[in-house]
Amino acid sequence: MPSNLNQLRKDMRARRQQLSQSMQTQNARQALDFAKQLLNNSEFSKPQKIALFFTQDGELSTAPLIQYLWQETQHEVYLPVLHTLEKEPMTFAHYTESSRLQKNRFNIPEPFNTKSITAAELDWVFVPLVAYDQTGNRMGMGGGFYDRTFAFKQQSRPSNKPYLIGWAHSLQKVASLPTQPWDIPLYALINEKQIDWFENGLLS
């Protein structure tokens, strides 16, 4: 990867890490309001399989959204589980309030001894990112886990399930990002200010 992309990733990570705890809390609460707008759409009238992630490194917290899904909806929550030997980089484990967790090699908790499904079986996926641009391109942490896991979507439009929804602070937005053939674009992004739709969004 060119050094300028490494520097951009470093700068954007530093930017979100510098947010105060009170600002982090406020952003997560405001982003939840926009997530509720999405969840009130008719697409969610039947229970959906929704993947999220455990936040770290200054990412916009998913905790309020997970709690809302558990307590106020019938949707199923899933979290990514990393694999090192299997064909797919990640599967997704059902996550409930009673789930047991163990840390993976990146020290991120994962559910275990529970039902797991493939990425293709999900309906909606809230994805982490370091930066995103105005057309829905996403920069991750550099491991390529999401791009490889959702590589099957390269042959389809972002508006085909599973829908990939970025979840980030608004300060993580940049004018444009370089793209690679293996990049999987976002369908939409939710931050503390709005829902950004990139392709014929449900509420646009």
Distance, CA of 49 to CA of 25 (rounded, Å): 26
pLDDT at 1 over 50: no
For the domain made up of 3-197, give the CATH fold.
Answer: Rossmann fold (3.40.50)
Q: Which pLDDT band, with edges at 50, 70 and 90, does 113 fall under?
A: confident
> Does the pLDDT of residue 100 top 90, yes or no?
yes
Mean pLDDT of the residues in the chain: 91
Q: Which residues contact 80 (CB under 8 A, 6 or more apart)?
A: 51, 53, 90, 91, 92, 93, 110, 145, 149
- Rounded Cα distance between 59 and 19, Å, is 10
pLDDT the model gives residue 123 = 97
Report helix angle 63-72 to 21-39, nearest 10.
Answer: 40
Which uninterrupted H or E stretch holds 125? strand 124-127
Q: Measure CA 182 to chain center.
A: 17
Q: What length is written for the chain?
A: 204
Residue 2: the pLDDT is: 45
Across 116-152, b (16+ Cβ under 10 Å) vs e yields beebeebbbbbbbbbbbbeebbbbbbeeebbbebbee
What is the average per-residue pLDDT within 70-90? 86
Higher local confidence (pLDDT), 142 or 107: 107
Highest averaged pLDDT of the listed ranges 28-42, 149-163, 169-183? 28-42
